[in-house]
A and B are shown apart, each in its own frame.
Chain A
Amino acid sequence: MSDLGGSTLDALERLRRLQSVTDATLAHLSVDELLNELLERIREILDADTAAVLLMDRSRNELVARAAKGLEEEVEQGVRIPVGKGFAGRIAAEGRPIVLDRVDHTTVLNPILRQKEVKSLVGVPLMAQGETLGVLHVGTTTKRRFSRDEVELLQLVGDRVALALQARLSERARVVIETLQRVFTPELLPEVPGLRIATRHLPAATAVGVGGDWYDAFVLPSGDLVLVMGDVAGQGVTAASVMGKARDALRAYALTGLAPGDIAARLDRFLHEFGEGEIVTLLLGVLDKELTTFRFVSAGHLPPLKVGTDGATFAWNRTPNPPLGLARASRFEETVVRLERGTSLLLYTDGLVERRDESLDTGLERIRSVAGSVLWEGDPNLAITDLITLLLEDRRLTDDAAALLVKRPSAPEPTFEAAIAAQPHSLTGIRRSLMQWLEDKGTSRLVSGDVVLAVSEACANSIEHAYGPSGGFVTVAAAMDDDLIEVEIRDYGQWRRSDGWKRDKGIALMRGLMDYVDIDPSETGTTVTMRKSAR
């Protein structure tokens, strides 16, 4: 085996041997298959007796034996070498090849190498993009002096192994991260009558960039809608797992009925204690069930955009809050945005805004102007697609990006309008004509029955309570848009004080029948607005 020792390898021969470890037939092997195959070939090229790969376990700063030839016990026993200690540990720590002519307990930590009576060793670091992934070493059971050429050859082989390894490890990490993101992204968005929600999550084009962007949307038992857009300021599996923790903790805090600022404060502490040291930016808001008030807190996150027919404006948090995980803020300031009919809110992460070659302000101005031009009309799902297409142009995403759009459609034009005398005998007529209108719209018998009963109840209230003996009239308007039925019953008198249980039971019945009931009394009359999904 010493026929190579000391001799100069012919350039062509080196090339041929190198090719044997970058062979295309290796492309489809798993990490372990790949390492085993490569070690076999390396042992052959260098005419060595043993060959082994140890991979870095960064969380414990140790090397772990992953594949070996002639030293299989090393892998079976899961040998671990602290970085900086022993032969392999020094290679990893110093990032350079080491040649050993004498193997004993002063130079080698691993007892298996000594038991196998390995006499000479040469090892190289496995480096990719400045990062040490592990160590590759070969050994002989007869004493041998490895030449500089052989060390160089082993390093060249090591570089190729490192590249192949990195591609596979990051591909595997990518699968893990994407699985986590799938698990932690709501599969079904909540259906809120009177609101349209559309979301997009775009993973980065490069595996390295994939990380911890997430969004969430869920309805609380109170009927309020919670909207979340978050970004873990890290990448990889750790960021994705922190994202999962943050999402679950946030849901748990939200379920207790806390205000957004209080949820943020608790989540801040939570991430500080249990979050692997990652920093999280978060936009968290609650849209009340009347769909009019969005109360939000931004923890170091980009501001939501409010989009109406007159363009888009940022809703900046009045006082900026720090990101979560630092546990430095004593309170998180909230901001309130009104959501009028016909307006939308866009929540997003910086992946959609930032470009390497420009300032954040430029990116923000771009999303503001694009959102203002494409988000104010039409179907939210199509609008969000347009937005992303226009924002990204043909760029590849280097960071994750996520966007969540909620839209309160404009009030549909009522297509049913009627006015009835405020007398009990008017009720049958309004029920018949409303039922006919609902049937014409293709509404199911059950939903039609519910709407007709709720309207009849509301009219009965007006007839009974709004007017004196001289009487008056009640108007009924109904509209249907996108499977949402909206009715409005209006009188022009003043309701007498409740006679208690009886009227309350009637109103409770209306609330049971419809998704949303609002009774708005004023000096000039009472307006009852009710909504129900036709689905």
Chain B
Amino acid sequence: MSREIASFDFKCEGAVSVADLSGEVDMSNAGEVRQRLLQFVSNEDHGLVLDLSGLSFIDSAGLHVVLEVMTLLEERSKQLSLVVPPDIHPARTIALFGLDEFVAVYPDREAALNAARSWPVS
């Protein structure tokens, strides 16, 4: 990114990839966010938990990217879930956008990881 407004922290929890995405996501960095997320998920992973706890802003371009990532992972038979604490503004954005109709959203990381344990092997 030419000017970093979002940052990543990747790690693996067993067969689940966990990505912390913090900062801001808008049309200026949405493409790069998609790229980095897709690169990170390895072929052995069952799926990706995207933790947005540190996210202060996301716009519709950012949410479209989340949808694209979900679609591309599905094509590789992998799951996607989101960690969105209800008190951050992106939680409202996600609800208004209706993203939670497409993607599983959990209020904290533990809940998301618990659910991810039952993800099927791809």
Contacts and interface: CB of A to CB of B under 8 A. Distances in A.
B60 A506 contact: yes
Contact of A460 (B24, B27, B57, B96): B27
Given A424-B26, A428-B5, A428-B28, A460 B61 contact: yes
Contact of B97 (A445, A449, A509): A509
A509 B60 CA distance: 8
Nearest to B88: A449
Contacts, number: 56
B5 to A, nearest CB: 5
The 6 closest A-B pairs by CB, nearest first: A424-B28, A449-B89, A512-B96, A506-B60, A424-B27, A460-B27
B35 to A, nearest CB: 15
A421 to B, nearest CB: 12
Interface string B38-63: 00000000000000000001011100
Given A428-B3, A509-B60, A509-B97, 11 more contacts: A427-B59, A428-B5, A431-B57, A445-B89, A449-B89, A450-B89, A453-B93, A464-B27, A502-B60, A502-B64, A513-B96
Nearest to A424: B28
A449 B88 CA distance: 10
A89 B62 CA distance: 86
B96 to A, nearest CB: 4
B92 interface: yes
Given A427-B26, A428-B28, A505-B97, A457 B59 contact: yes
Interface residues of A, number: 22
A456 interface: yes
A342 B33 CA distance: 47
Interface in A98-130: none
Nearest to B93: A453
Contacts of B3: 425, 428
Nearest to A445: B89
B59 A456 contact: yes
A449 B92 contact: yes
Contacts of B5: 428
Interface string A445-480: 110011011001100100110000000000000000
B61 to A, nearest CB: 6
B52 to A, nearest CB: 14
A445 B28 CA distance: 24
A509 B62 CA distance: 13
A371 B74 CA distance: 67
13 contacts: A424-B26, A428-B3, A428-B24, A446-B89, A446-B92, A452-B57, A453-B93, A456-B57, A460-B27, A460-B60, A463-B27, A464-B27, A506-B59
B118 interface: no
Interface of A: 424-425, 427-428, 431, 445-446, 449-450, 452-453, 456-457, 460, 463-464, 502, 505-506, 509, 512-513
B60 A505 contact: yes
A425 B31 CA distance: 13
A453 B28 contact: no
Nearest to B2: A425
Nearest to B58: A453
Nearest to B29: A424
Contacts of B2: 425
Interface string B8-38: 0000000000000000101110000000000
Contacts of A446: 89, 92
A460 B97 contact: no
Contacts of A509: 59-60, 93, 96-97
A446 B95 CA distance: 14
A505 to B, nearest CB: 6
B6 to A, nearest CB: 10
A463 B28 CA distance: 11
B119 to A, nearest CB: 28
B116 to A, nearest CB: 28
A450 B92 CA distance: 9
Contacts of A463: 27
A70 to B, nearest CB: 78
A428 B7 CA distance: 15
B64 A428 contact: no
